Structure formats: structure tokens, C-alpha cells
């Protein structure tokens, strides 16, 4: 589930469907005030958006960003929809600009959105409902549209949204050459201090088998592995996928409730080792190699 850490998750359960591989976000104006949760939940409305940003900068999320919402007709298959509280004659508040900036910053990390203006259908970045090739509508007003550069500036300077503690996996992956990544149990990856984003499970609309509990960098720092307690490894960037083989897991009972994987360590030569806890494993911490040899070592 691609739920943003900068938002309050209020799933509506209707008016959505299909997989969304988004290239950016669209600015909308609400033409009203107050949370849109009730209206979008109403079967009669037949509309939705992924996010709503209130006057005070509060962000609500109604639809998973890897799922299509109903906010801009043919643009629904390409962009995430962001509603902003207020009326056409009102400018976005500074708090709304900051809130939108947090959404864009998190979208850049999770989905790879570039922090640039999009002015016609198909361009990645921050677009708007009535942009060229978009929808024939008055949404949004020129007054609201004028703050888009400020939203991008806020996104560039936005303090990173931290994964909530209950969803945070291994605290971090230190990157050789500088920077680091944080992961969450859905396979979200958060890049900091210059570490490059090389993708995540939510950015591929993928759901991990098990909970992501750790990760390790590739030797170059231009990629990383994520691992789940069920012993599934996901490789990104120049990190190579090397197993483990399911037969081997079954033989040792690794990745089960009693023998969960608890970590992954890169060995510096492009291979990696998984560590599992276990009943019947001696000693109780067990390391296994996943470089093709599948040797077990205590
Ligand atoms: Zn609109």
C-alpha cells in the first residue's frame, strides 16, 4: 500500500481502480472548504482524488498512490490528483504550499516524480487539471496556479517525511560514498543526504511477500537490496539479484514464522548474506549465503 507519511490516511474504498504508475501530480482547487473525505466516500459523487490539502497545510490521503483515482478523466492513468481547499478567488495559503511541497517531495522519493513544472499531458512533474491536452475546465484558477513554483521550491527544501515507527524497517542503509536510505515494511525507500533513489516496491506498484525488515547497499552505492522476514530479496539499481533459491529455503525452513530472516549484509563483492533467527538452528543466529553456493554457516 502506497500511503504517504506526510498524510493522514483516510481510505474511501470507492471511486478508484486500476494500477497507477504515476509520472507526477495534478493541482486541483476544491471550490469549497472542509475535508473531502465525506464527499468522496459518497457513492453519488463518482469522483475522488488521492490527496486533499487544507488551509492549514494538513494533508489527507484517500486513495493509494499506486491505484487510479477519478479526478481528471484521461489524465487519471498518469497522474496523482491533489485537491486544495478553498475557492478560485483565494490564493493557496503558505501552509498549503508547504503541505503540497511535502507531497511532491515524498512523490519524488517514492515514485521518482521530477520536481519540475508539467504544462501538458504526458510531461512528468507538477501539472494541473486544465493543462494543455488535459481537461476543459476552469480548475484551477490562475491565482492558484501561480504558486506552483513555490510548491516545487518547498519540495526541494522540505524536511524529509520520516516513516512512522511502526512501519519503519531497519533504521537505515548507509551508502558507500555518502548519504543513506531508510526503508519501511512496505518496501518504501527514503533517500537522504544525496543518496540516489533507485526505486522501491511502491514505485513499481509491488507488494512485498512478508514485511521488509532490512536492506543493504551495493558495493558502488548505486543500488540496494531489500529483504523481507519471509526471505524475499528485491534488488534495485546496480545491486544484483542472487537468490536465495526457494528449494534451499524450504530445506532449511528459512523465512517461516519460526525462522524469520532478520537482516541482510552486503559482502563488498556484489554478493550478500541473509541472517535468520531460528528454532533448531545452532546457534540461534544463523547466517546463510545467497551468492549461488547456498552454503550455511553458523
Ligand atoms: Zn480539478
> By the 8 A CB rule, do 64 and 107 touch?
no
Residue 283 confidence (pLDDT): 35
Helices then strands (H, E): number in the chain?
A: 5, 18
CA of 136 to the centre of ligand 1 (A): 10
Residue 261 confidence (pLDDT): 83
Question: Cα separation of 191 and 133, whole Å?
Answer: 33
Helix, strand or coil, per DSSP, at residue 105: helix
SS3 content of the chain, % helix, strand, coil (to 5): 20, 30, 55
> By the 8 A CB rule, do 167 and 186 touch?
yes
Residue 171 confidence (pLDDT): 66
Q: Name the residue with higher pLDDT: 185 or 77.
A: 77
DSSP 203: G
CA of 109 to the centre of ligand 1 (A): 25
CA of 72 to the centre of ligand 1 (A): 7
Average the pLDDT over 21-29 and give the result: 97
Residue 255 confidence (pLDDT): 79
Average the pLDDT over 179-190 and give the result: 88
Residue 208 clears pLDDT 80, i.e. is over it: yes
pTM of the predicted model as reported, rounded to 2 decimal places: 0.58
By the 10 Å C-beta count (0-12 exposed, 13-18 middle, 19+ buried), 218 is classed as buried
Residue 248 clears pLDDT 90, i.e. is over it: no
Binned at pLDDT 50, 70 and 90, residue 163 comes out as: low
CA of 199 to the centre of ligand 1 (A): 29
Residue 279 clears pLDDT 80, i.e. is over it: no
Average pLDDT, whole number, for the chain? Answer: 86
Residue 142 clears pLDDT 90, i.e. is over it: yes
CA of 83 to the centre of ligand 1 (A): 7
Residue 207 confidence (pLDDT): 82
- The answer to which of 22-26, 98-102, 116-120, 285-289 has the lowest mean pLDDT is 285-289
Average the pLDDT over 35-62 and give the result: 95
**Pairing label, strands 180-183, 189-192:** antiparallel
CA 243 from chain centre, in angstroms, equals: 25
Residue 160 confidence (pLDDT): 54
Residue 170 confidence (pLDDT): 53
CA of 159 to the centre of ligand 1 (A): 27
Average the pLDDT over 134-158 and give the result: 93
- The answer to which of 46-50, 149-153, 244-248 has the lowest mean pLDDT is 244-248
Residue 296 clears pLDDT 50, i.e. is over it: no
Question: Cα separation of 56 and 58, whole Å?
Answer: 6
CA of 71 to the centre of ligand 1 (A): 7
CA of 34 to the centre of ligand 1 (A): 16
Residue 205 clears pLDDT 80, i.e. is over it: no
CA atoms within a 13 Å half-sphere pointing along the CA-CB vector of 184: 22
CA of 51 to the centre of ligand 1 (A): 12
Average the pLDDT over 103-131 and give the result: 95
CA of 206 to the centre of ligand 1 (A): 28
Residue 94 clears pLDDT 70, i.e. is over it: yes
Residue 268 clears pLDDT 90, i.e. is over it: no
Average the pLDDT over 38-52 and give the result: 96
CA of 119 to the centre of ligand 1 (A): 15
CA of 133 to the centre of ligand 1 (A): 14
Ion ligand 1 residue ranges (Cβ < 5 Å)? 28, 129, 139
Binned at pLDDT 50, 70 and 90, residue 165 comes out as: low
CA of 225 to the centre of ligand 1 (A): 39
CA of 140 to the centre of ligand 1 (A): 6
Binned at pLDDT 50, 70 and 90, residue 256 comes out as: confident
CA of 112 to the centre of ligand 1 (A): 23
Amino acid at each position: 500500500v502506497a500511503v504517504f507519511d506526510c498524510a493522514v490516511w483516510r481510505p474511501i474504498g470507492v471511486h478508484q481502480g486500476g494500477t497507477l504508475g504515476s509520472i507526477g501530480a495534478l493541482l486541483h482547487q476544491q471550490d469549497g472548504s472542509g475535508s473531502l473525505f465525506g464527499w468522496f466516500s459518497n457513492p453519488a459523487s463518482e469522483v475522488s482524488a488521492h490527496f486533499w490539502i487544507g488551509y492549514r497545510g494538513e494533508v489527507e490521503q484517500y486513495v493509494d498512490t499506486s491505484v487510479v483515482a477519478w479526478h481528471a478523466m484521461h489524465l487519471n492513468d498518469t497522474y496523482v490528483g491533489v485537491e486544495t481547499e478553498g475557492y478560485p478567488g483565494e490564493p493557496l495559503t503558505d501552509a498549503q504550499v508547504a503541505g503540497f511541497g511535502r507531497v511532491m517531495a515524498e512523490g519524488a522519493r517514492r515514485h521518482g516524480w521530477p520536481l519540475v513544472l508539467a504544462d501538458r499531458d504526458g510531461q512528468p512533474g507538477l501539472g494541473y487539471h486544465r493543462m494543455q491536452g488535459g481537461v476543459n475546465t476552469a480548475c484551477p484558477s490562475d491565482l492558484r496556479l501561480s504558486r506552483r513554483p513555490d510548491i516545487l521550491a518547498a519540495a526541494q527544501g522540505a524536511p524529509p517525511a520520516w516513516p512512522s515507527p511502526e512501519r519503519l524497517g531497519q533504521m537505515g542503509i548507509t551508502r558507500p560514498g555518502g548519504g543513506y536510505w531508510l526503508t519501511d515494511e512496505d518496501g518504501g525507500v527514503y533517500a537522504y543526504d544525496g543518496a540516489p533513489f533507485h526505486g522501491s516496491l511502491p514505485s513499481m506498484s509491488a507488494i512485498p511477500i512478508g514485511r521488509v525488515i532490512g536492506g543493504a547497499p551495493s558495493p558502488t552505492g548505486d543500488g540496494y537490496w531489500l529483504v523481507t522476514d519471509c526471505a524475499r530479496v528485491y534488488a534495485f539499481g546496480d545491486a544484483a539479484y542472487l537468490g536465495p533459491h526457494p528449494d534451499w529455503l524450504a530445506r532449511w525452513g528459512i523465512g517461516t514464522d519460526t525462522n524469520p530472516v532478520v537482516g541482510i549484509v552486503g559482502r563488498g563483492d556484489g554478493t550478500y548474506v541473509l541472517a535468520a533467527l531460528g528454532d533448531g538452528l545452532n546457534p540461534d543466529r544463523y547466517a546463510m549465503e545467497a551468492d549461488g553456493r547456498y552454503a550455511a554457516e553458523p
